[in-house]
A and B are shown apart, each in its own frame.
Chain A
Amino acid sequence: MTTNLARRHFLSTSAAAAGSLVVGFHIPFARDATAQGAPAQGAQGALAPEINAWVVVRPDDTVVIRIARSEMGQGSLTGLAQLVAEELECDWAKVTTEYPTPGENLARNRVWGNFSTGGSRGIRESHEYVRKGGAIARTMLVQAAADGWKVPVGECVAANSVITHTPSGRTTTFGKVSAVAAKLTPPADAPLKDPKDWKVAGKRIARLDTSNKVTGAQIYGSDLKLPGMLNAAIKDCPVFGGKIKSVDTTAVLKRSGVEKVVRVGDSAVAVVADTWWHAKTALDALPIEWDHGPHAGASTASFAAVMKAGLDAKDAAVGNTVGDARAAIATAARTIEAVYSYPHQNHATMETMNATARYTPERCEVWTPTQNGEAALAAAAEASGLPLAKCEVYKQLLGGGFGRRGAVHDWVRQVVAIAKEMPGTPVKLIWSREEDMLHGCYHPVTQCKLTAGVDGQGNVTGLHMRISGQSILAALFPQNVKEGKDPVVFQGLNPPGPEASIGYTFPALLIDHAMRNPHVPPGFWRGVNLNQNTIYLECFIDEIAHATGQDPLALRRKLMANHPKHLAVLNAAADRAGWGKPAPAGVHRGLAQTMGFGSYVAACAEVSVSDQGVLKIHRIVAATDPGHAVNPQQIEAQVEGSFVYGLSAALYGECTVKDGRIEQQNFDTYRVLRMDEMPAVETIIVASGGFWGGVGEPTIAVAAPAVLNAIFAATGKRIRDLPLKNHDLRKA
């Protein structure tokens, strides 16, 4: 894809476009925009040459690496830059980064590929073309130097932004030849390095984006300020599917700072004011009468009954099958059965949903934290009624994403609808925490009945996993649901393959799904369906082990013989934790393993439960095999963060529905893990090479089952529905 790049001074034109806004905040390319939108100039007064779509080298040797995926804390911005820099052979100290805009991507025939930043795919799905981008740019820079010296290019090498003609020892720098290199025809291809030769990639390098995050200087979407900007607060009907029955839009117009009250669609109303606080307080004072719609009677309990019926329903979509599991179970010496469930949860990003929009009949611009700039652009176009080419999105740093800011851009549609009512005036919409809690795209709810057939020696002869419940794709991408089957439902349970495959071999297996969709909208919630599927399977394996008198690790090893990568991480975690050796007094261990987002993960948790039933998670040893490890210290950060996310869910995470609406409206009722509950985490990176897996999500899935299995070891209590806060953990 790097062979047909448009040859032009992309940086300078983009800088001019962005600079024309004449605003003092971070926008893409702002570093290259001089005060009033003049073309970007390097130290020597020349335009900054774009070598190719991924690499700009300024005359002062600064290397600007373009990053298409969004940075939301997961570190991909640094990791992707490492991969480009590795092949470019540039001086890492001179690297900066910037986002191309979705509009530029569209205008350049999607030269930067996919912007979507979810599914832990930031690196694993773009490593090849970004490395090629770096390699091709290096080839062109070296060629330009060789041409200048009139020597064969094969006699020249690049390292640390310096090009050397080896026979003569002459040297030059990237910055000195970049203008010439930019005019060369790029080679069709360039070979990539063997990862064993990496010098920048694979290293424990510091992130590129830390310093502004410790001084308050970092601007997030909600911090944005445009000249003449107004602020908006919004309330959507608290019951999903409801509408506004009546609202007196004049009731708050006399309040301080209030400019306008806008109905947004048929279900929401926004107040626009000089400040957000004025908008928010006026909105709180606005009398709104709701028509709660068809789901006003729905509750968590009513939908649980629907899912329960699905556990024994005749029709179900099959995700994985081996042999005749029903027959194997029917003829087994013994059967073991258990029913598990998993609740709705909100992403609860620290920064609530927000966006700023400016609409004129000719153009619609949106500034927003998004995991998918192109999807945000599409939402802006649809909401504004303008063609894509007349819209633009400037991606802002995300105060957390976790899947909420990727597939659905409801807040972008809202802000554009509001801005459309005030052409030419920029409007910033910030959701209150309460709005954010009530209008999420929730972790889907499911139940699961597991039935195992076991022979006289404790061998599993057949396993049936019946999942019943919510499908994300049915709500968000129904075109991908074929014959009632949502393939994403089976994450971690798939047949052997490179994505989310099950780590066990059973003589007979049936995993199927009875789709039952409640009215609560689902979304991709960090870890997605791997989360509950891993709880279901890993806790049930533990149940089988205890029911048949086998050690949970020994049973897994027996079932995992054909799955060496799964087994390797499990063994690594178990060995480091000291499985089979005595734990400290009162401490008990639990195991879990899974595969998802292209990586293999396992955990061993150590917990104690007091006589009063108070749980303490002391330590978790985690092992991850992502194939290639691009930045080990950031993988460790993602693994630790995954435990916070996964344990928050396990201990507290639950959005319950009453009268059709979510009950939890803030962190006082939607608790999450805090410092005092955080266990020590030891991360083992087993980078076995040969594949590229993600690291932002898979470990979340092993957090809860490892702890639940350890709780069973400590108390004899088998917890089959979360969160733990609803359970009495005093010993059975």
Chain B
Amino acid sequence: MANLNVNGKVREFQAEPDTPLLWVLREQLGLTGTKYGCGVAQCGACTVHIDGKAMRSCVRPVSTVGPTAKIVTIEGLSPNGSHPLQKAWVALDVPQCGYCQSGMIMAAAVLLKATPNPSDEQINESIANICRCGTYNRVRAAIKVAAQGGDAKRAGLAIQHVGESAS
């Protein structure tokens, strides 16, 4: 048995040292919000935070993550989906199939911490995740909405939510 600090809790797990963190999260700890897309750190669907940095968990051997390193997965980004990015994502209906979106949001969250009001170029540099449905422009718009205080109307998509006027 070994320990990981995930989403603020110490979690026990049993896996060979070279097992990628992704598969420990998914298969040992039941945190399936982090996705397998490529296994070679190309697509970003497996992005989690380790000590505040965005990491591709599919190529990170679990033995190289210490028991005190603070891992945050999409499930731990906020209680009840209240992170400004999650709210912006909902307001702008960003996801299509949604499979890559955990990784997108986790990458964006690290970007916003270091760069609270990122330019297009900074977004381009930081968000190299693959989305096959093609949500890139709404991802960009939602990052800007979150960065600029959460007013979804600024994105101009005029999406009507239940119980709200158009955003």
Interface of A with B (CB < 8 Å)?
72-75, 92-93, 203-207, 209-220, 222-223, 225, 231, 256, 275-277, 348-352, 397-402, 430, 432-433, 633-634, 636-637, 640-645, 648, 666-668, 672-676, 678, 680-681
CA distance A215 to B105 in the complex (A): 9
A-B contacts, 12 of them at CB < 8 A, read A204-B159, A207-B93, A214-B90, A222-B35, A222-B36, A225-B30, A277-B23, A351-B97, A637-B138, A644-B131, A666-B42, A667-B37
Q: Which of A204, A220, A350, A637 contacts B132 (CB 8 A)?
A: A350
Are B101 and A349 in contact, with the CB atoms below 8 A?
A: no
B100 contacts A by Cβ under 8 Å: yes
Given contacts A217-B75, A645-B132, A675-B124, 11 further A-B contacts (CB under 8 A): A209-B98, A214-B86, A216-B74, A276-B23, A350-B131, A350-B132, A399-B98, A637-B96, A644-B136, A667-B37, A676-B128
Q: Given A214-B86, A644-B132, are A219 and B32 neighbors across the interface (CB < 8 Å)?
A: yes
B55 contacts A by Cβ under 8 Å: no
Chain B residues whose CB sits within 8 angstroms of the CB of A430 once the complex forms: 36
Q: Given A206-B93, A433-B38, A633-B157, are A216 and B131 neighbors across the interface (CB < 8 Å)?
A: no
Are B138 and A204 in contact, with the CB atoms below 8 A?
A: no
CA distance A430 to B26 in the complex (A): 13
Chain A residues whose CB sits within 8 angstroms of the CB of B35 once the complex forms: 220, 222, 350-351, 399
Are A214 and B134 in contact, with the CB atoms below 8 A?
A: no
B84 → chain A closest CB, angstroms: 11
Chain A residues whose CB sits within 8 angstroms of the CB of B159 once the complex forms: 204-206, 633
Are B130 and A214 in contact, with the CB atoms below 8 A?
A: no
Q: Which of B42, B85, B95 contacts A73 (CB 8 A)?
A: B95
Q: Which of B128, B129, B131, B166 has the most CB of A within 10 A?
A: B131
Chain A residues whose CB sits within 8 angstroms of the CB of B42 once the complex forms: 666-668
Are A217 and B136 in contact, with the CB atoms below 8 A?
A: no
B77 → chain A closest CB, angstroms: 8
CA distance A672 to B133 in the complex (A): 11
Q: Given A204-B160, A216-B75, are A674 and B130 neighbors across the interface (CB < 8 Å)?
A: yes
Are A74 and B130 in contact, with the CB atoms below 8 A?
A: no
Chain B residues whose CB sits within 8 angstroms of the CB of A640 once the complex forms: 134-138
CA distance A207 to B161 in the complex (A): 9
Are B140 and A675 in contact, with the CB atoms below 8 A?
A: yes
CA distance A74 to B135 in the complex (A): 11
Are A675 and B134 in contact, with the CB atoms below 8 A?
A: no
Q: Which of B33, B75, B132 contacts A349 (CB 8 A)?
A: B132
A23 → chain B closest CB, angstroms: 13
A352 (CB) vs chain B CBs: closest residue: B36
A351 (CB) vs chain B CBs: closest residue: B99
CA distance A642 to B136 in the complex (A): 12
Chain A residues whose CB sits within 8 angstroms of the CB of B27 once the complex forms: 231, 275-277
CA distance A349 to B36 in the complex (A): 12
CA distance A430 to B23 in the complex (A): 13
B34 contacts A by Cβ under 8 Å: yes
Q: Which of A74, A644, A667, A674 contacts B38 (CB 8 A)?
A: A667
Are A432 and B39 in contact, with the CB atoms below 8 A?
A: yes
B81 (CB) vs chain A CBs: closest residue: A215
Are B158 and A204 in contact, with the CB atoms below 8 A?
A: yes
Q: Given A213-B95, A214-B86, A637-B96, are A672 and B40 neighbors across the interface (CB < 8 Å)?
A: no
B73 contacts A by Cβ under 8 Å: yes
Chain B residues whose CB sits within 8 angstroms of the CB of A667 once the complex forms: 37-38, 40, 42-43, 130
Are B99 and A220 in contact, with the CB atoms below 8 A?
A: yes
Chain B residues whose CB sits within 8 angstroms of the CB of A681 once the complex forms: 137
CA distance A398 to B97 in the complex (A): 7
B74 → chain A closest CB, angstroms: 4
Q: Which of B15, B89, B94, B127 contacts A675 (CB 8 A)?
A: B127
Are A72 and B97 in contact, with the CB atoms below 8 A?
A: yes
Are B135 and A637 in contact, with the CB atoms below 8 A?
A: yes
CA distance A432 to B37 in the complex (A): 9
Count of residues in B whose CB is under 8 Å from the partner chain: 68
A401 (CB) vs chain B CBs: closest residue: B97
Are B128 and A674 in contact, with the CB atoms below 8 A?
A: yes
B12 contacts A by Cβ under 8 Å: no
CA distance A633 to B23 in the complex (A): 36
Are B160 and A645 in contact, with the CB atoms below 8 A?
A: no
Chain A residues whose CB sits within 8 angstroms of the CB of B97 once the complex forms: 72-73, 349-351, 397-401
Nearest 9 CB-CB pairings of A with B: A216-B33, A644-B134, A641-B134, A73-B97, A399-B99, A73-B96, A213-B98, A216-B74, A676-B124
Chain B positions 120-164 with a Cβ under 8 Å from a chain A Cβ: 123-125, 127-140, 157-163
Q: Which of A204, A277, A400, A636 contacts B20 (CB 8 A)?
A: A277
A535 → chain B closest CB, angstroms: 19
B16 contacts A by Cβ under 8 Å: yes
CA distance A74 to B131 in the complex (A): 13
B57 contacts A by Cβ under 8 Å: no
Are B105 and A666 in contact, with the CB atoms below 8 A?
A: no
Are B90 and A210 in contact, with the CB atoms below 8 A?
A: yes
Are A206 and B160 in contact, with the CB atoms below 8 A?
A: yes
A71 (CB) vs chain B CBs: closest residue: B97
Are A642 and B134 in contact, with the CB atoms below 8 A?
A: yes
Are B130 and A277 in contact, with the CB atoms below 8 A?
A: no
Q: Given A276-B23, A277-B23, A350-B132, are A211 and B37 neighbors across the interface (CB < 8 Å)?
A: no
Q: Given A205-B160, A433-B39, A633-B93, are A400 and B133 neighbors across the interface (CB < 8 Å)?
A: yes
B65 contacts A by Cβ under 8 Å: no
CA distance A352 to B43 in the complex (A): 13
Chain B residues whose CB sits within 8 angstroms of the CB of A72 once the complex forms: 97
B6 contacts A by Cβ under 8 Å: no
A402 (CB) vs chain B CBs: closest residue: B132
CA distance A275 to B20 in the complex (A): 12
Q: Which of B43, B73, B127, B139 has the most CB of A within 10 A?
A: B43
A674 (CB) vs chain B CBs: closest residue: B128
CA distance A215 to B96 in the complex (A): 14
Q: Which of B86, B132, B136, B139 has the most CB of A within 10 A?
A: B132
Q: Which of B15, B102, B130, B163 contacts A216 (CB 8 A)?
A: B102
CA distance A225 to B26 in the complex (A): 10
Are A680 and B137 in contact, with the CB atoms below 8 A?
A: yes
Chain A residues whose CB sits within 8 angstroms of the CB of B131 once the complex forms: 350, 644
Chain B positions 82-117 with a Cβ under 8 Å from a chain A Cβ: 85-86, 89-90, 93-102, 105
Chain A residues whose CB sits within 8 angstroms of the CB of B160 once the complex forms: 203-206
A171 → chain B closest CB, angstroms: 21
B71 contacts A by Cβ under 8 Å: no
Q: Given A215-B81, A637-B135, are A350 and B130 neighbors across the interface (CB < 8 Å)?
A: yes
Chain A residues whose CB sits within 8 angstroms of the CB of B157 once the complex forms: 204, 633, 636
CA distance A730 to B157 in the complex (A): 38
CA distance A223 to B22 in the complex (A): 13
Chain A residues whose CB sits within 8 angstroms of the CB of B95 once the complex forms: 73, 210, 213-214
Q: Which of A213, A214, A277, A641 contacts B19 (CB 8 A)?
A: A277
Q: Which of A212, A223, A402 has the most CB of B within 10 A?
A: A223
Chain B positions 50-86 with a Cβ under 8 Å from a chain A Cβ: 73-75, 77, 80-81, 85-86
B113 → chain A closest CB, angstroms: 18
CA distance A686 to B86 in the complex (A): 32
Chain A residues whose CB sits within 8 angstroms of the CB of B125 once the complex forms: 676
CA distance A72 to B134 in the complex (A): 13
Q: Which of A206, A216, A399 has the most CB of B within 10 A?
A: A216
Chain B residues whose CB sits within 8 angstroms of the CB of A348 once the complex forms: 132
A341 → chain B closest CB, angstroms: 24
CA distance A351 to B97 in the complex (A): 10
A667 (CB) vs chain B CBs: closest residue: B42
A700 (CB) vs chain B CBs: closest residue: B134
A25 (CB) vs chain B CBs: closest residue: B32
